[in-house]
Homo-oligomer: A and B are copies of this chain.
């Protein structure tokens, strides 16, 4: 089945889905992040048809989510290792997990996120890195960014902020009292 491509769209959500939005793709990434490496492992976990799995793995390699590595010379055998880009996708999966637990788990939670050391259950929420404020509507909204074209500007209005990707790995330092610092 040929899909219309989302990659030409300027929306970063559409572009993300172009890479991981195919049926099965996110579950393959989930399993790779959980330690699955080999074709047979993915196939067993997912009960997916082999030709479909091959297509999805190739597509995820193309998207830079998985790296294909030969682990056996004769016969040639490959494994699929999640890249940094795939590891960076984990928060998306955790938010999906949390949403699924809230809405589609009538019998209770089957899988939860826990503190790896204490086992205490965690509840993921999305906050702004710099201020720690809960990222919710209408407090926060989408806006045209610095690279927006005319169409995006029409849809979203004025551009917002600078194109400054926040530094990775900074720990959140949230304070309810400290509202909006105009640091940009």
Contact = CB atoms under 8 A, between A and B. Distances in A.
A100 B149 contact: no
Interface of chain A, main secondary structure: loop
Given A90-B137, A111-B10, A23 B26 contact: no
Contacts of A117: 139, 180
Instruction: Tell me how many chains of this kind the complex includes.
Output: 2
Contact of A122 (B103, B125, B138, B140): B140
A12 B184 CA distance: 38
Interface string A120-147: 1111111111111111111111111111
A97 B21 contact: no
A140 B163 contact: no
Interface string A5-31: 011001111111111011100110010
Contact of A123 (B107, B115, B128): B128
A110 interface: yes
29 contacts: A10-B110, A11-B30, A12-B105, A14-B27, A16-B103, A17-B96, A21-B23, A64-B103, A91-B135, A91-B136, A95-B126, A102-B165, A110-B152, A111-B156, A113-B135, A113-B142, A114-B160, A115-B139, A115-B140, A115-B180, A116-B139, A121-B184, A122-B131, A123-B128, A123-B129, A124-B128, A127-B132, A173-B174, A174-B174
